[in-house]
Each structure stands twice: as structure tokens, then as C-alpha cells.
Amino acid sequence: MTEPSTRTVVHDTFVIDRTFKAPPAKVFRAFSDPAEKWKWFGRPPEGWRPEVQTMDFRIGGREISDGGPVSGPTILYEAVFHDIVPDERIITSYVMWVAPQDASHPLWERYAATGDPRAREQLILDGRRISVSQATVEVLPAEGGTRLILTEQGAYFDGPEAAAGREQGFADMVDALVRSLE
């Protein structure tokens, strides 16, 4: 029997709910001011490379945050800000790609050193679009601080390269990513 298309999409939503002691305006600034955001968002976990990040915080503006494990694949992230309510809410949609290059690959090294958009384009071409998501950050006053609710609604892709034998490579990449966080 001929195999039908192996393209699939899985939808999922997850919510993370945290409370911080800082006031809402300060928590919001940690997301909206690039210099402040860099201090926490830009700090990679152990074993991960310093990220290449840019942020244009306004409606229609873009955010790029590219990195990945040192000895694993490159993860590229590109978001657009769709809704901004100062001190209250930020809504973005974003695309993610996974590319095979690790931190010592010349293409990544060139991109990390120069931010060359052509190097980024090449990483995207070599990689695979893995998900398209919407992220909502709600900043709410709470007893003694701020409640932050992050809601991610995603469409996660799978399968298009199966026939070309790239599927296993992709599974290996995801496995490597998961291991790097354990």
C-alpha cells in the first residue's frame, strides 16, 4: 500500500504560572527593555551557547533569539510582537527552526561573530521549521508582588523529510536537545 503524506501537525497548549516578589512594572520591564531582558533571558543554561539576540519591542517589531547546545543542533527563534499593554500583557507569535550545525560549525561561528543575516538564512535553509506558536505573557498584580502567566499555544510539525531519510536525523536532534536539558 502506498504511504500517504507523512506531514503531520500536533497542537498543544501549556501554561506556566509563577509569582515574583518584584512589582508588575519591574517584571514587565524585564521583558520589554532589551538590556534588562538580556540579563536573564540571554543567559544560556550550562552547556548551551551564548545566544544571538535582537529585539525591537513595539507592535509589529521582531525578536530573534538563536542558540542551542554547544555540541548539539542550532535552534533559531523569530517572534513578532502583536499586542503590548504596558505593565500588563505581551502577545507574540513565533517560528522555530532546528538546524544541524553545532557551536563549532563555521557557519554558526560566522553568524555568532557577525550577526550576518545571510548566515542566518543559510542556517534556516539547512534546518527544519519545527513549530509555529503564539505566546501570551500576562503580568498581574499579586499579594506581595507579581503573578506571571505564560501561555504557549503551538502547532508542532513533523514528518516532511521522512521519505528523504532525514527523519531519523531530526529525531536524533530532538533527542540530543532533550538530553542536554536533563
Partner 1 sequence: MLQYQETPLDLVFQALADQTRREMVERLSRGPASVSELAAPFAMSLSAVGQHLKVLEASGLVRSEKHGRVRTCRLEAQTMRRAQQWISLRRAHWEQRLDRLGEYLDADDSNETATGSQP
Minimum separation from the CB atom of position 62 to partner 1 (A): 19
Give start and end residues of each alpha helix (H) in the chain: 24-32, 34-41, 106-114, 117-126, 167-181
> Closest CB to partner 1 among 116 and 175?
175
Angle subtended by helix axes 34-41 and 24-32, to nearest 10: 90
93: nearest Cα among 131, 153, 135, 63 = 135
Biggest CA pair distance of the chain:
63
Q: Count CA within 13 A, CB hemisphere, residue 32.
A: 20
Amino acid (1-letter code) at residue 46: E
Minimum separation from the CB atom of position 108 to partner 1 (A): 19
81: nearest Cα among 26, 121, 137 = 137
CB 159 within 8 A of CB 128: no
Residues that bind partner 1 (CB under 8 A): 1, 3-5, 8, 10, 12-14, 16, 18, 20-24, 26-27, 30, 39-41, 43, 45, 130-131, 133, 141, 144-146, 148, 150, 152, 154, 156, 158-159, 170-171, 174-175, 177-178, 181-182
> Closest CB to partner 1 among 61 and 160?
160
Minimum separation from the CB atom of position 79 to partner 1 (A): 13
Minimum separation from the CB atom of position 53 to partner 1 (A): 12
Minimum separation from the CB atom of position 136 to partner 1 (A): 12
Any idea what DSSP says for residue 72?
S
> Closest CB to partner 1 among 13 and 114?
13
> Closest CB to partner 1 among 16 and 163?
16
> Closest CB to partner 1 among 21 and 118?
21
